[in-house]
Amino acid sequence: MDNAASAQKPLAVTNALAHYYATNHANVHRGVHALSDRATEAFENAREYSRQFVNARHTREIIFVRGTTEGLNLVASSYGRHRLKPGDEILVSEMEHHSNIVPWQLMAEQTGSAVRMIPMDDRGEIILDEYQNLLNEKTAVVAITYVANSLGTVNPIRLMTAQAHDVGAAVVVDAAQAAPHLKLDVQELDCDFLTLSGHKMYGPTGIGILYGRERLLDAIPPYQGGGEMIRKVTFQGTEYAEIPHKFEAGTPNIADSVGFGAAVQFMQDLGLDTIAAHENRLLEYAHQQAAEMEDLRIFGQAENKSGVFAFALGDIHPHDIGTIVDRDGIAIRVGHHCAMPVMRHFDVAATARASFAVYNTTDEIDRLFESLQGVRRIFGKWWMI
């Protein structure tokens, strides 16, 4: 139940990786031989599956990156250098993962712009009135998570995007926690950039995608320089390759891109609606069980929630909870979840978090709650049992 950190891999993915290495591996886009053609085809097919997954208009808008962290750093760096000037404002919500805060702070320092926080309420929902008040003609970027990893909140991206566009700001969506659970549609969301990590959606580690609106990707400078991303190099200057290659310097992570394509197909074969329905049932079940434990506090009570059940049990330290349930074979995450501002909001140092994937069951949730009774017993909370 630590799937928000990383999901387990189905055979469809590990077989695709093994098959690729056994039969199709070569470097891409540069060989004249058949093997390189096959590798290039497998790699570019994965890009097409990714395009379908987020419903981008064109594969030119899909860049392979290491994961969400790299996707966000790429946008902050390339779009930031292109667009941000002194006095500009970058709006980032209070519930962001550090990877959607720190790259913007770095870019703000370099450009003389400022990061402003969009606050949330005690249920873990963005305060939309405050968001609207923060938007103004200085707002250049709104960087927002679709689903909060520490709370499970699903944010109203479509609405927030429309309001950001009204003041001319670009919208960057962190879809790391949305991609495993929700159907993504960049055209419907109308966002300018969206990024996700393969390893959280049953794919390999070290691979993810960044979607960018074609017009913007064309306009902004490359992130890194090297092979693959150029059209012509002389000592007088360099012409860059077309997108998406302009943003893919060096030999890409070919095998894991192929594995990622297999993960996307795995999810589509299961059906995104089926996955969401199953996980929502699990979340609801966990909330029902929790209602019977009066010393259990849930963090994240948003109306629209996905995948994450974060909690505290009385005054027991989350690390003790995590260690004890682990002895019963249950993996949960404890800590600040790379979301220290969220911990600060709730005035805690850490929380315990169970996060669900398609292979979890209600029986497993029963076992988690039995194990939590064991935690109470160890800490002498007999009156609660």
Ligand X SMILES: Cc1ncc(COP(=O)(O)O)c(C=O)c1O
Binding site for ligand X (CB under 6 A): 67-69, 97, 99-100, 145, 149, 174, 176-177, 197
Residue 227 beta carbon to ligand X: minimum distance, rounded to whole angstroms: 24
Locate all alpha helices (DSSP H) within the chain, ordered by sequence. 11-19, 34-54, 68-74, 80-83, 102-111, 128-134, 157-166, 186-189, 214-219, 254-270, 272-291, 318-327, 340-346, 362-378
Residue 242 beta carbon to ligand X: minimum distance, rounded to whole angstroms: 26
Residue 107 beta carbon to ligand X: minimum distance, rounded to whole angstroms: 17
Cα 257 to chain centroid distance, Å, stands at 17
Q: How many CA atoms lie within 13 A of 196 on its CB side?
A: 33
Active site residue 191: no
| Residue among 5 and 230 whose Cβ is closer to ligand X | 5
Distance (Å, whole) CA 202 – CA 247: 25
| Residue among 194 and 275 whose Cβ is closer to ligand X | 194
Amino acid making up residue 183: K
Residue 344 beta carbon to ligand X: minimum distance, rounded to whole angstroms: 17
| Residue among 97 and 305 whose Cβ is closer to ligand X | 97
Residue 11 phi, psi dihedral angles, 5° rounding = -60, -30
Distance (Å, whole) CA 178 – CA 265: 17
Q: Pick the catalytic residue: 26, 117, 338, 384? A: 338
| Residue among 24 and 69 whose Cβ is closer to ligand X | 69
Token pair for 56? 């981008």
Contact by Cβ (8 Å): 265, 205: no
Residue 104 beta carbon to ligand X: minimum distance, rounded to whole angstroms: 13
| Residue among 322 and 324 whose Cβ is closer to ligand X | 322
Q: What angle do CA 256, 215, 44 make, to 5 degrees?
A: 25
Residues carrying an active site annotation: 338
